[in-house]
Amino acid sequence: MGNSKSHPEQEFSSRFLPGEQAEVNRLFDALSSENLGSSTSHRSFSLQALKGHVGDALPPEMVTRLFEGMQRVDGSRKAKGPSEHISQKQFTVSMSHLLKGTAEEKSLVILNMISASGGPVKARDVYKFTEDLVGSVVHVLNYRRELRGWSQKPPPGSLSRVQLLAAQLCSEMKLQGGGKLLGPQWLDCDCDEAVLEDWVFRAHHVATFLSLIIHQGFLLLCSTLELATLVPERQVDPQREFASLLDVLSVIYINSHLPQERRLRWRLLFATELHGNSFAQLCGRITHKGPCLVLLEDCDGHVFGGFASCSWEVKPQFQGDNRCFLFSVSPSMAVYTCTGYNDHYMYLNQGRQTIPNGLGMGGQHSYFGLWIDVDFGKGHSKAKPTCTTYGSPQLSAQEDFQFQKLEVWAVGDAPKAEPARNRSILDVDPEARALLKVSGRGCHSEGFREVPDEQ
């Protein structure tokens, strides 16, 4: 009560629930077991002990970065001089910052993982750290067998997705003076703690990835990691081999932009590799299947696509809502959300003579942000300078492109099947129904069909 004292360890330990703190303490005890002869207040562990515990779960470079980040932080939240061991206070504070801390606290650890001085660092050093972080995510997911069906590597001949995602994350950084890390000319710019704090706040993947490598690399508080929403389950016919255009990193990136309830599983609906090069086959396999992702690779190696927030329907009107977006995977990773300029989110049409036949997202007729023509294998991506609906640039290498590989993935749970009932073609084609009425011909079968039972 009146004579109780507040210790830094207690302040930071209180961020963990009692059971969580006990697990943190047990891990420290295991790491510091080589110093069992020391008094409790002086127990610590070495880099060698940490590498021995982690084993091959993380790349050695990342284990060293984590160790150095921990040894330079103490309870006063200031950088501390290097030592050869990590004390319990340093360990507890670091785990608190990385797993439960604010953007400011996380940025402090990141700064110490990058630089021994704790002062400003060059943007190129931040990029190298980000590349190591992203690479460690793939490494640990593969080691723990948590890829959930996805490949750890992109298709042969593709650009490194580790570098692409690292570049995307760094592009969200606002440098001193307001510039962004969008090219080599910015690599020598200084990044202080304020810049890193703002970056961690903006680029939420950085904090997520740091938590992931602690949870999965250290095997600490794994039950608190929502891995299922980070890496969706890949559902493909097990009887047929299929190599997706996507790897686990591009899946993680795209999945993070989906509505929360759509992140648990992806079901393959269509792939040219399995179902052939047919627009009719595409329409037949993707309509009325719920929200889904369409993506393709053009003949120049650009990989891009779009998220359809509603079930596709073949009709001459635009459909969808402002949850739709376009995205690029290669040669750069990016997501382009709705601008609010118009509601031309989704379009799917077939068999009309006066309006375009094909699948489109964004823009307008004959000028889509993404267009797949009914003449399958052809398409366009038009944006001068950007797509009006999504603000996206030209996604393909050439404005009018050709492709051989296309995939469609339904995301989330499958929609509930409608009750079976006798249906007329007029039920699914309102334009044909209206044409009959204009010509003076009624729907004579309307009164003779049974009314479906109420469920």
Out of 184, 218, 252, a domain closes at 218
Q: Is residue 392 part of a domain?
A: yes
Q: Is residue 21 part of a domain?
A: no
The predicted structure's pLDDT at residue 356? 93
Under 8 Å between Cβ of 247 and 157: no
3-class DSSP assignment, residue 84: coil
| pTM as predicted | 0.86
Q: Is residue 269 part of a domain?
A: yes
Q: Is residue 445 part of a domain?
A: no
Tally of structural domains, the chain: 2
The predicted structure's pLDDT at residue 180? 67
Token reading at 94: 């670091």
Residues 213 and 271 in one domain: no
Confidence of residue 414 (pLDDT cuts 50, 70, 90): confident
- Looking at every residue in the chain, the average pLDDT score rounds to 86
pLDDT > 50? residue 422: no
In whole angstroms, give the CA distance from residue 127 to residue 169. 9
Percent of the chain at pLDDT exceeding 90:
69
Q: Which amino acid is at 402?
A: Q
Out of 218, 251, 284, a domain closes at 218
The predicted structure's pLDDT at residue 157? 78
pLDDT > 60? residue 248: yes
Residues 63 and 190 in one domain: yes
The predicted structure's pLDDT at residue 386? 95
Confidence of residue 226 (pLDDT cuts 50, 70, 90): confident
In whole angstroms, give the CA distance from residue 440 to residue 195. 69
pLDDT tens profile 132-145: 999 999 999 999 99
The predicted structure's pLDDT at residue 75? 46
Could you tell me the CATH number of the domain that includes residue 205? 1.10.238
pLDDT tens profile 48-101: 999 999 999 999 999 999 999 999 876 444 545 455 899 999 999 999 999 999
In whole angstroms, give the CA distance from residue 224 to residue 114. 27
Under 8 Å between Cβ of 141 and 217: no
The predicted structure's pLDDT at residue 204? 94
How buried is residue 414: exposed, middle or buried, by Cβ count under 10 Å (0-12/13-18/19+)? exposed
Percent of the chain at pLDDT exceeding 70:
82
- The terminus-to-terminus CA distance of the chain in angstroms comes to 63
Out of 218, 252, 273, a domain closes at 218
Residues 272 and 194 in one domain: no
Residue 170 or residue 2, greater confidence: 170
- Taking alpha carbons only, the member of 98, 123, 141 closest to residue 181 is 123
Residues 189 and 62 in one domain: yes
For the segment 303-319, the average pLDDT, to the nearest whole number, is: 96
Residues 58 and 202 in one domain: yes
Confidence of residue 257 (pLDDT cuts 50, 70, 90): very high
Residues 370 and 278 in one domain: yes
pLDDT > 60? residue 304: yes
For the segment 429-437, the average pLDDT, to the nearest whole number, is: 44
Confidence of residue 421 (pLDDT cuts 50, 70, 90): very low
Residues 322 and 208 in one domain: no
For the segment 96-125, the average pLDDT, to the nearest whole number, is: 90
Residues 212 and 100 in one domain: yes
Residues 198 and 101 in one domain: yes
For the segment 403-422, the average pLDDT, to the nearest whole number, is: 81
Q: At what angle do helices 123-143 and 60-71 cross, to 10 degrees?
A: 120
The predicted structure's pLDDT at residue 353? 85
Residues 206 and 274 in one domain: no
Nearest-5° Cα angle at 223, 217 to 229: 85
Residues 316 and 391 in one domain: yes
Q: Is residue 286 part of a domain?
A: yes
Q: Is residue 98 part of a domain?
A: yes
Residues 195 and 329 in one domain: no
Q: Is residue 232 part of a domain?
A: no
Q: Is residue 234 part of a domain?
A: no
Residues paired with 30 in a beta bridge? none
Q: Which domain holds residue 208?
A: 42-218
Cis status of the peptide bond prior to 59, with omega within 30 of 0: no
For the segment 12-34, the average pLDDT, to the nearest whole number, is: 86
For the segment 185-203, the average pLDDT, to the nearest whole number, is: 89
pLDDT > 60? residue 443: no
